Structure 1
Amino acid sequence: MSAILSADDLNDFISPGVACIKPVETLPALPEQPEDNGLEHEVVLDGQHPTATAGAPAQISLTDCLACSGCVTSAEAVLVSLQSHHELLSVLDQAPALQVRRDGADGAFRVEGLENPDSKLFVASVSPQTRASLAAAAGRGVTKRDAGRMIGQLLAGRDGLSTGGKWSNAFTWVADTNAARAACLVMGAEEASDGRKVAKPILSSSCPGWVCYAEKTHPYVLPHISKVKSPQALMGTLLKTSLSRTLGISPDRIWHLAVMPCFDKKLEASREELTDSVWNGNGQPGRGVRDVDCVITSKEILMLTESRGIDFFSLSKESIPVSSHVPFPDSTIQEFLFSSHQGRRLDVAAGTSGGNLYYTLQYVASQHPGSRIETTRGRNVDVAEFSVIAASGDTLFRAARYYGFRNIQNLVRKLKPARPSRMPGAKAVGATRKVAGKSAGPEYDYVEVMACPGGCTNGGGQIKVDDPLVIERKGGGFQPGPQEQKEWLAEVDEAYFSAEESESEIGEGTNIGGVRGDLIGDISPTYIRDTLAHWSRITGIDIDRLVTTSYREVISDVGKSKTNDTERVVQLASKIGGGW
């Protein structure tokens, strides 16, 4: 959930012998079996063995564990073990990959290998924070774009994963999530400026650690959370829907890997709201085909290369030759995914978490000529307030940034509704004193919320200063500590904002949408809307099903009395699955 979680120290987050509160969903025991089996089962960690008196280890699926509302960190421990580079290699070695071919005569696309039910079409998406982390680990002179090309070589190149494994499989397409990020920024800004679909203040939703926390502990804030999908989720939906419809194959034949900066993205990928049961079914969450099949983090990229005997830092920094590229089956989506996102240098003011807040402020200001954006520093570096001020001096829009759980807790306390008092005539419990003319609670229109202090470049899955790789590269005598980690994060941020203008492969000053008259930053809202409309047309799916998601309160069963066998049967018969 935070920057301190890593695969190497999971035992710090769940102690031995802790009983999972999630019942194992099987029918009640037969009468001749002991009645004291109970519903509790020991969760066994790697390297441990169940005690002699314990029942069989619980078989916990990702969805089951996320539906459990007991201990979030316990869920994360299970998830990290189930979504990993080992799973990636296992899937790659199951069967020969599906191959997409294009006929020269009519330009039609066909898929080869469908006769093998285990064969998959492999696609991947990579976050800019991951590229920045690996660029910093590679050393001075390596830019974020260089690192992106190295990841591309690993996943799709001749010297990458295809050099090993049973079938020498590789990924057919490797996309940059910046393309989906651009769409999310435009949709989020329109949602915030519209103000009718989500209760204000609107809270950003791209951080899954924050969303999980809200669903389990503060459900009263759920009406405030933005309904726009995160870049990872939107990219997954875009790839699965467009490929399955244009190629005429089932979405379960498409396997999507996301490379992300934090472990909580594994949580997000397992949400029932982000499956084909929503866009390909009845529009309701369910246990369908995931839009994102597996998430690995920045540090797991290095574990992946080690498992295959590849030196990541020796991979080529050149792009894979165009002659080796398989064209995407839709030219509009091809342009959006693989050309238009190659933008200019990122603005430092946007931060390292995607720039939702910064773009929304720019969007609002663009609608009011002569307006300006003012910034007010908060109580610490991870809190700040922003205002869009009209030329007349009136405040048009108020926003804020809250990073880190200590600051998030302060935010949700301010949003907590007052509880009616049981005493006749008494003031509601928790109601704050109102200043004349002002309402209680934070008077924001929009808040960017991130679980990790410092933002996404400080995600829990990023390479840290105390990783053996970094210590080795820093030289003998280097002793990592808090100050060294701060300096290391500055190096990652520097790589994140590294200049890419002069290195652009599609021309100086290229922006998302080419030459458009309505640019905000380097993104054209008109181009984004046109692309989304095209996506909806080629798939035949309503755009709201494609780009928005939903949230639900997750109720804990900790401390509640155990149900009898009859009640269990009723519950099992009516169960439709939990949100997390």
Structure 2
Amino acid sequence: MSAILSAEDLNDFISPGVACIKPVETLPLQDPQKQDNAYEVTTEEKVTEQSHPPAQISLTDCLACSGCVTSAEAVLVSLQSHAEVLNTLDAHPVIEPSRLLRQYVDGATQTTDEGVGDLDEDGRLFVASVSPQVRASIAATYNVSEVEAGYMIDHLLGARDGLASGGRYGNSFTWIVDTNAMREATLVLGADEVLNSLGQPLPPLSPTSTQNPLTSSPPKPPILTSACPGWICYAEKTHPHILPHLSRLKSPQALTGTLLKTVLSQRLHIRPEQIWHVAIMPCFDKKLEASREELTDIYWRPSSSASIPASTRSPVRDTDCVITARELLMLADTRGISFPSLPRTPLDLTQRPPFPDPVLSSFLFPPSPRSTRAQDPSAGTSGGYLSHILSTQLALHPNATLTTTRGRNADVTDYTIHAADGTSLFRAGRYYGFRNIQNLVRRLRPPKQGRSRMPGARVPVKSELGGKGMEYAYVEVMACPGGCTNGGGQIKGSDVREDVSAKEWLGRVDEAYFSLSEAESEGEEHEGGGRVDGQEHSLPQRSEKAPAPPTIRTILTHWSTSTGIPLEKLAYTSYRSVESDVGKEDRSGAQERVVEIAGRIGGGW
């Protein structure tokens, strides 16, 4: 969604724009027998006031762009907002995991004598996930490190002096997960997806297995990233010919939600709807992603699971609510908490109950800082999907070299892996911003019938840089110019200082995203790093190399086997073509208007 939208923009009297996919319904004509006499003269007090129902538009009805000028987008924002977080915290008593767990037995859990029978049916277990781009936005705003920004967020969400200091029940979030953990899982699976699509051998999913089972129905090359919901929404509603090329992987937000709902519901023997997951993300479009029907428990729920009653059939979202960095500050302000005054030290681990799966606990809550590894600026600000795939391809060709060429602007980059003899082995691209995405989409459009090519034949998508370059095998696509650190929900420079330019501010956020705290060790070592007892100590850092695939693959195998759910259901999703007039032949120029407005706001849809 556009960065200019907020809940205060709600106005049901705004007419839909020409790009809206849900046209205004025409009211049926009145029954002639019930119509008033056209020649009858009446007074004003006898006229019956008509009461129009409020707009009824669901999240999946709305195009994630500024071309729709209805109140729909404002309604969507208000449905998932900081106010909704506070209302939910105040509406339900918290479920204490300590009531449900007695001990671990061979990685499994035992329920207490009270069991679920004594559990309040209205209770909720509150969990949260935070993206690294949000921490970078907070770090730039308060001139702290990205790690310290993460600690401040932890204290707001999970400490006694945070959200728990107010409200009806004094609730807080039991576990706060860094989405970097599941991002590393998507990197490994994404590289496998490319290998499978190109017919290259796949490594085993687990060191103990002999093959990788994820070999069915790979997307067609070039594979396009699917982690950006604004881009996915645009493709589904305007260019359905793109769908066979989209990566089937869930985004880190969706994958984190699936992991939390599957593991906690089974290990704690509670229903998925009793687990309330809020994600803190850099853009408004993540709210649209959370609303997708494909990202609910009906797609992974075991029909015979004892922990999930058979009577439960209504879909439960893997991510119940999404708020942005700006809404995070509003969350603190509404509770009367001064965000910059929050501690910049790790949470007291005694306040956090143990995660009910020891293997996944070490993966989700590592002893190292929030940033599990330093990001290379060349990897971009959107997770490093393309960077990891290039590293994987280079590992397959030890003597190969990588050539990087900038496109027509800084948001278009071409990457080519050359063999020792100069032959092109692998080509990929990076396209950020909808102006550049338009060029990519046009070149993926199948040719019209009547030309020399067979009907439905695909035009090879080569580098826009010209020459005899080979066809793209992979393209990293993101809606926002500059990547995810420039999401529409991020804190803007104008909110902090009036004299800072948008470009300068984005540079500060990017610097925070790519850096780790450089505190020097002078005190007692503390799990998670940071300042302890007024003294600083060194923050342990992992190698700048990609995460060890066996470790990630072992985690994925454990997740699947421990829950009894195939990994295909846990980690992958699907897409659908949405009927729309947008992108089709349109004499009114709706498509051009959508692109123009989206480009004018300079920060995604």
**TM (normalized to structure 1)?**
0.80
1:125-175 Cα offsets, whole Å, 9 max, x none, are: 000000000111112xx1010000000000000110000000000000001
In 1, the alpha carbon distance for the partners of 2:343 and 2:461 equals: 62
Q: Do the aligned partners of 1:370 and 1:391 also contact (CA within 8 Å) in 2?
A: yes
Q: Which amino acid aligns with 1:123?
A: V
2:58 pairs with 1:61: yes
Aligned to 2:494: 466
Determine whether 1:408 maps to 2:425.
Answer: no
Partner Cα separation in structure 2 for residue 308 and residue 441 of structure 1: 56
CA deviation vs aligned residue, 1:50-74 (integer Å, no higher than 9, x gap): x965631133333455799994986
Match for residue 290 of structure 2 among 249, 256, 269: 269
Counterpart-to-counterpart distance in 2, 1:105 and 1:209:
42
Tell me the residue number matched to 1:133: 137
Partner of 2:509: 492
**1:119 aligns to what SS in structure 2?**
coil
2:75 to 48, 66, 78: 78
2:528 is aligned with 1:505: yes
Q: 2:91 aligns to what SS in structure 1?
A: coil
The 2-side partners of 1:217 and 1:357 are apart by 25
- Structure 2 residues without counterparts, runs of 5 or longer: 36-47, 199-217, 305-312, 521-526, 530-537, 585-605
- Residue 485 of structure 1 deviates from its aligned partner by 1.1
Please tell me whether the aligned partners of residues 457 and 493 of structure 1 are also in contact (alpha carbons under 8 angstroms). yes
1:373-412 equivalent positions in 2, closer than 5 A: 373-412=402-441
In structure 1, the residue matched to 2:571 is 547
Partner of 1:320: 347
Correspondences of 1:541-580 after superposition (within 5 Å): 541-556=565-580
Structure 2 partner of 1:152? 154
Change (3 A) 1:65 1:382: closer
Letter in 2 for 1:335: S
Other structure's SS at 1:466 match:
helix
Task: Return the letter of the residue paired with 1:228.
Answer: L
Q: 1:520 to 1:479 in 2, by over 3 A?
A: closer
The residue type equivalent to 1:498 in the other structure is S
Greater mean deviation of Cα atoms: 104-113 or 532-541: 104-113
- Show the counterpart of 2:550: 526
Residue correspondences, number: 514
Distance 1:65 1:401 in 2: 27
RMSD (Å), alpha carbons = 3.7
TM-score by length of 2: 0.77
Q: Cα–Cα, structure 1 residues 287 and 388, in superposed 2: closer, same or farther, change >3 Å?
A: farther
Deviations 1:48-107 (A, max 9, x none): xxx965631133333455799994986433211110000000100012111111436977
Q: How does 1:134-533 map to 2 (within 5 A)?
A: 134-139=138-143, 142-195=144-197, 197-280=218-301, 288-339=315-366, 342=369, 343-421=372-450, 443-467=471-495, 470-471=496-497, 478-479=498-499, 484-500=501-517, 505=528, 510-511=541-542, 521-533=545-557
Cα distance in 2, alignment partners of residues 430 and 58 from structure 1: 43
2:204 aligns with: none
Alignment check: 8 A CA contact 1:399 1:444 kept: yes
Distance across 2 between alignment mates of 1:341 and 1:327: 17
Q: CA deviation digits over 1:354-392, x for unaligned, max 9? A: 000111101111121122221011000000000122233
Q: Give me the whole-angstrom Cα distance separating, in 1, the residues matched to 2:185 and 2:280.
A: 19
Aligned to 2:559: 535
Q: Report the Cα offset of residue 14 of structure 1.
A: 9.1
Distance 2:440 2:220 in 1: 15
In the alignment, the residues of structure 2 paired with residue 392 and residue 501 of structure 1 have an alpha-carbon distance, to the nearest angstrom, of 43
Superposed CA offset, 1:191-236 (max 9, x none): 1122161100000000000000000000000000000110000000
Distance (whole Å) between structure 1 residues aligned to residue 241 and residue 260 of structure 2? 33
Q: Give, in whole Å, the separation in 1 of the partners of 2:568 and 2:406.
A: 36
Partner of 1:123: 127
Give distance in 2, aligned partners of 1:401 and 1:433. 17
Is the alpha carbon distance of 1:309 and 1:282 closer, same or farther for their aligned partners in structure 2, counting shifts above 3 Å? same
Q: Give the conservation status (yes or no) of the 8 Å contact 1:70–1:556.
A: no
1:478-517 deviations in Å (ceiling 9; x for gaps)? 445xxx1111111111111122476783787654xxxxxx
CA contact (8 A) 1:131 1:147 kept: yes
- For the residue of structure 1 that corresponds to 2:322, the secondary structure is strand
* Identity among equivalent pairs (%): 53
Residue 253 to residue 53, structure 1, CA distance change in 2 (3 Å)? same
Q: 2 CA distance for matches of 1:433 and 1:547?
A: 29
How far apart in 2 are the matches of 1:547 and 1:258? 18
The structure-2 alpha-carbon separation of the partners of 1:164 and 1:198, relative to structure 1 and needing over 3 Å to count, comes to: same
Question: Aligned letter for 1:122?
Answer: F
For 1:335 and 1:434, how far apart are their aligned partners in 2? 42
Following TM superposition, by how much is the alpha carbon of 1:108 offset from its aligned partner in structure 2, in angstroms?
Answer: 3.9
Task: Using the TM superposition, give the Cα deviation of residue 241 of structure 1 relative to its aligned residue in structure 2, in angstroms.
Answer: 0.4
User: CA offsets per residue over residues 314-334 of structure 1, 9 Å max, x none?
Assistant: 000111112222100000110
Structure 1 residues 486 and 273, CA gap change in structure 2 (3 angstroms): same
Letter in 2 for 1:254: I
Post-superposition Cα deviations, 1:10-40, rounded to whole Å, max 9, x if no partner, equal 47x9971339864899xx99999989xxxxx
CA shift, 1:525, in A, is: 1.0
Show structure 1 runs of 5+ residues with no match: 36-50, 472-477, 512-518, 561-580
Counterpart AA for 1:273: E
Q: Which stretch has the larger CA shift, 195-204 or 103-112?
A: 103-112
**TM-aligned CA deviation for residue 109 of structure 1:** 5.4
Q: Against the structure 1 CA distance between its residues 352 and 538, is the aligned structure 2 distance closer, same or farther, given a 3 Å change threshold?
A: same
Per-residue deviation, residues 296-341 of structure 1 (Å, max 9, x unmatched): 0000011001100000010001111122221000001101101077
Cα 1:329/1:201, change in 2 over 3 Å = same
Query: Distance between the aligned counterparts of 2:482 and 2:228, measured in 1?
Result: 13
> For 1:103, what is the secondary structure of its paired residue?
strand
How far apart, in 1, do the equivalents of 2:423 and 2:158 lie? 53
In 1: Cα distance, 2:512 partner to 2:226 partner: 25
Equivalent in the alignment of 1:17: 15
Assess if the C-alpha contact under 8 Å between 2:449 and 2:455 holds in 1: yes
> What is the one-letter code of the residue matched to 1:325?
R
Residues of 1 paired with 2:66 and 2:118: CA distance? 40
**1:352 Cα deviation from its structure 2 partner:** 0.8
Partners of 2:303 and 2:467 in 1: CA distance: 40
Q: Structure 1 CA distance, aligned partners of 2:302 and 2:220? A: 28
Cα gap change, 1:426 to 1:326, in 2 (>3 Å)? closer
The 1:98–1:368 alpha-carbon spacing in structure 2 relative to 1, beyond 3 Å, is same
* Structure-1 separation of matches of 2:7 and 2:24: 28
